[in-house]
Amino acid sequence: MSDCIFCKIIAGEIPSVKVYEDDTVLAFLDISQATPGHTLVVPKVHVPDLFAYDADLAAAVFARLPKIARAIKASDPRIEGLNVLNNNGEVAYQSVFHSHIHLIPRYSTADDFSIHFGDHTQDYTPAQLEAVAAGIRAKVGA
């Protein structure tokens, strides 16, 4: 896609700091390092978000994550964990509309990244949870 910044990075038209590349994905450092080593894994084909993946592309892209995650972890002995984050839609904080998966290494030091789920354990009755799930099941197909 001609006006897509990540397509331009994949094409080598604008620079990136590469971590890993193969036929399916490019992984490069996020220009804004949420923590040191914060990496984006990007399918080489332009796909805007998770909703647009087919199963083969998802299998291919997500299959790359463990080895890239292991390499990030092995690169710095201070890394104790890693968050996988994939934002879909502006409301979900997506700002680049070429799908990408954030690999965010976690440190007990040098780390001010946070995710806040909150405690919503009391928000739904069992019947309400069942109604939510039924709505999703009706759409998920085989």
Cα distances (angstroms) measured from residue 107 to each of 65, 116, 120 = 19, 17, 27
Question: Which one of 4, 21, 96, 113 is in contact with ligand AMP (CB under 6 A)?
Answer: 96
Helices 55-63 & 65-74 angle (0-180, nearest 10): 20
Stretch in the footprint of Zn ion (CB under 5 A) among 2-10, 11-19, 56-64, 134-142 = 2-10
Q: Is 24 in the site for ligand AMP (CB under 6 A)?
A: no
Nearer to Zn ion, 72 or 101 (CB): 101
Quote the least distance from Cβ 124 to ligand AMP, whole Å.
Answer: 28
Nearer to Zn ion, 14 or 92 (CB): 14
Q: What does the block give as tokens for 66?
A: 């463990």
Nearer to ligand AMP, 33 or 128 (CB): 33
Gap between the Cα atoms of 46 and 52, Å rounded: 10
Quote the least distance from Cβ 2 to ligand AMP, whole Å.
Answer: 16
Which of 46, 100, 102, 120 is an active site residue? 100
Q: Is residue 102 annotated as a catalytic residue, yes or no?
A: no
Q: Which spans of this chain sit near Zn ion (rule: CB under 5 A)?
A: 1, 4, 6-7, 46, 98
Q: Among all residues, which ones are annotated catalytic?
A: 100
